[in-house]
Structure 1
Amino acid sequence: MPSDNVKGLLCDVEAEPLARYRQGGYHPVRLGDLFKNGRYRVIHKLGFGGYSTVWAARDEIANRNVALKIETSETFSTSRELEILQICSRSQNEPGSEYISKLLDAFRHDGPNGSHHCLILDILGSNVPAVLDEKFEGASLPREVATAVIKEVLCGLSYLHKQELAHGDIHTGNICFSAPSLAAATEGELLRILGSARIGEVYGQLEQSHTQGIPEYLVWPSHVPVTDVSTRTPIKIIDFGQSFTKSTKPRTLKTPLVLRPPEVLLDDDWDRHVDLWAAGCTIFELITGQPPFDSIMATNETLLQQMIESIGELPPMWQDKVPHDHSQKDTSTLQEWLEELVFDVDHPPEFRQEEVKEIGSLIGQLMRFNPSERISAGEAYRIWNSHFP
């Protein structure tokens, strides 16, 4: 099926929407395009998001493969990702920094749709959902992988908070496994790994004359092979497009709905404590393979009801905002749900009862309703490391 229809244009590639190729939108890219005076040459496509496209590129000077992230022009004056990564690049020797996506270079690129921030980042391997889908059929990660990933996420989050930074979008999709072999591969080796680039011509009739701002073709995103978790490499926390400092907090939080804390759902004041709630949800999912709350047809109201049923009463400051029928309790507590998912399996559970109690306790301390009562990422890391060194 065509992926989009813009003023009469069509393309059979399921990729970024053609409608976003306009003034303020995506920069049109062709395979082989050169950036920064010829230093970076595009060789494949890695993916796309609402505010960027991401490409595998060859650094002709450093003789290695990198990820080239080209942000939309409309975010040129408002994007915080470059600022956040630059702050991180000034403290790369501090504990936890090794689990943060590394900014290798950054520059401005002017194109037919405006000016774009271009970020050069490490080229990484699979994210957690891809590993789960392809290696474990959507189940949970093996014990030794899950416990190590959780420790590294908490360590990385602690590092960010010490820099007075908030990630703003912590979830399993933003946790990738490192892939040093991809960076070191020759161009031919990388193309064998990613597969040959497939393109789909943009065709049809425009209501207006064709402009340079619309690409000649779209490229199918490559398939990065799933990391072999039996010889696991460390993780990297990626995607800082929603990150913020104290003075640059966005007006809205775009974290997936089921990971948003109650202060966001209730449109109350919020800060970097949102990361702690999301970390608790992420730990739950890394252990069980499922998020703690039901995401089917979720709304702010239904999520708040689930939270009340599984965690407890809201603080007095919020109780008048959420009417609750105490007679309708039909869900498990968060601890009961955690234990059910860990132990109700058709194979020997990977965690002991006392370990699951400790894991549930830590999740509960991160997912306290009152943001100021949540334990810090550093304290969560110390607790986790004491149980799973």
Structure 2
Amino acid sequence: MLDYRAEHFYPVRLDEVFNGRFQVVAKLGYGSTHLIEITNAPPSRHPGAKNIRQLLDSFQVASPHGTHMVLVLQVSQMSIRDMDTVFMKGAGFEEEFVKSAVKELLEALDFLHNKVQCVHTDIHPGNLLLGVDDNAVFQQLEEAEFKSPVPRKQLGDRTIYLSRLMRPQVGPLLLSDFGETCLGPGPHAGDIMPIMYRAPETLLHIQWSYAVDIWSVGLTAWDLLEGRTLFNARKEDGSFSDGVHLAELVAALGPPPQRLLDRHRARALEYWDAQGNWGEFVPIPVGKTMEAAKTKLGDGKRTMFMNFLRRVLTWDPYDRPTSGELLSDPWVTS
């Protein structure tokens, strides 16, 4: 990967034993995190607790480049984003799969927001993993590695292994990656969320809370169904732009309410005049309304899905329903 820096990663070797109890038997992928603000979710009978990827243990390990924190996490399969890329070829998933995933995501958020009281801030298909109901699938992986080791190459002080591809099996959705989580309802401040998933309040530098996760649910549902993001947020040269992103929101949602712009007048005046009229220096995309957005669904199902999106994708975070309220949405329950 382009931003790979060897000192940020521990040079793991297959068969290596960590902390006297954990042995590496196969490589499924790679990843990193720079901040941990939430550890293990407390025991709970809440239905959404099962959809939070559990932290089972942690310890430190030394390498030539320093000390690394090792997190032992609940075993899982690939992310739903990778499933779409590898197996669906970027075409998105069938509606029933999407509804099931969204329902489990909403249950996870209901648990996080109401029981744990934290804001995830980084919800997207890449952080939604497919769990497993039966660990036997990993025993098969271990046997395959023993019989036919994956290709590898030596690079300096480390061995680079090819990741093993697993064909997805049925399992629960697991919300993962709590590296950017904020504890407490807030309001919080600061730059959060992947660029194309940013909620209006973050673009407008307004304090935020649980509602940013609800915004992400809507964009995630769209991505899973259509295999593409709803908003591009890029200029013609490919660079990201808040102005372009806000112009896309105006096209899709209509103008924002003045009460929202009044919460950070200085920021709002960079794009709107004092009366709330959009500046002309960034053109509003033509034909990019929510009604004009094309989906793979037929008319009846499309109407229900778009009504769901309309409830979730609102300018004002105070107008967005909670995760609990969305669990009874007609599209989710149909």
| TM over 0.5, shorter chain | yes
Pairing 1:252–2:199 present: no
Could you say what secondary structure the match of 2:72 adopts? strand
**Structure 2: how far apart are the matches of 1:278 and 1:188?**
34
**Structure 1: how far apart are the matches of 2:292 and 2:74?**
40
**Structure 1: how far apart are the matches of 2:134 and 2:142?**
10
Aligned to 1:55: none
Could you say what secondary structure the match of 2:153 adopts? strand
Letter of the 1:287 partner, please give it.
L
Aligned to 2:205: 267
**Structure 2: how far apart are the matches of 1:130 and 1:195?**
24
| CA deviation after TM superposition for structure 1 residue 336, in Å | 2.5
Pairing 1:226–2:192 present: no
Classify 1:292/1:329 alpha carbon distance in 2 versus 1 (closer, same or farther; 3 Å).
closer
Could you say what secondary structure the match of 1:284 adopts? helix
Pairing 1:144–2:96 present: yes
Letter of the 1:176 partner, please give it.
L
- Alpha-carbon displacement from aligned partner over 1:287-331 (angstroms, at most 9, x marks no partner): 222221125533211111000111011232424332425785503
Aligned to 1:321: 270
Aligned counterparts, 1:1-389, within 5 A: 17=4, 19-21=5-7, 25-36=8-19, 38-49=20-31, 52=32, 75=34, 78-80=35-37, 84-86=38-40, 88=41, 90-162=42-114, 163-182=116-135, 185-186=138-139, 189=142, 191-192=144-145, 196-203=149-156, 216-228=157-169, 232-246=170-184, 251-253=190-192, 255-294=193-232, 296=234, 297=238, 298-316=240-258, 317-318=260-261, 319-323=268-272, 324-325=278-279, 328=284, 330-337=286-293, 340-342=294-296, 351-384=297-330, 387-388=333-334
Q: Is the 8 A contact 1:365 1:375 kept in 2?
A: yes
**Structure 1: how far apart are the matches of 2:201 and 2:146?**
44
| CA deviation after TM superposition for structure 1 residue 145, in Å | 1.3
- Alpha-carbon displacement from aligned partner over 1:165-201 (angstroms, at most 9, x marks no partner): 1111100111121234456643764544997343322
**Structure 1: how far apart are the matches of 2:93 and 2:219?**
15
Please give the TM-score of this superposition, normalised by the length of structure 2.
Answer: 0.82
Could you say what secondary structure the match of 2:328 adopts? helix
Classify 1:26/1:140 alpha carbon distance in 2 versus 1 (closer, same or farther; 3 Å).
closer
Aligned pairs, number: 314
Return the structure number with greater strand share.
1
Classify 1:221/1:122 alpha carbon distance in 2 versus 1 (closer, same or farther; 3 Å).
farther
Classify 1:328/1:252 alpha carbon distance in 2 versus 1 (closer, same or farther; 3 Å).
closer
Aligned to 1:60: none
Classify 1:288/1:156 alpha carbon distance in 2 versus 1 (closer, same or farther; 3 Å).
same
Letter of the 1:234 partner, please give it.
P
**Structure 1: how far apart are the matches of 2:90 and 2:147?**
23
Classify 1:187/1:132 alpha carbon distance in 2 versus 1 (closer, same or farther; 3 Å).
closer
Classify 1:305/1:195 alpha carbon distance in 2 versus 1 (closer, same or farther; 3 Å).
farther
Aligned to 1:65: none
Classify 1:93/1:107 alpha carbon distance in 2 versus 1 (closer, same or farther; 3 Å).
farther
RMSD between aligned residues: 2.9
Please give the TM-score of this superposition, normalised by the length of structure 1.
Answer: 0.72
Classify 1:334/1:245 alpha carbon distance in 2 versus 1 (closer, same or farther; 3 Å).
same
Classify 1:335/1:222 alpha carbon distance in 2 versus 1 (closer, same or farther; 3 Å).
same
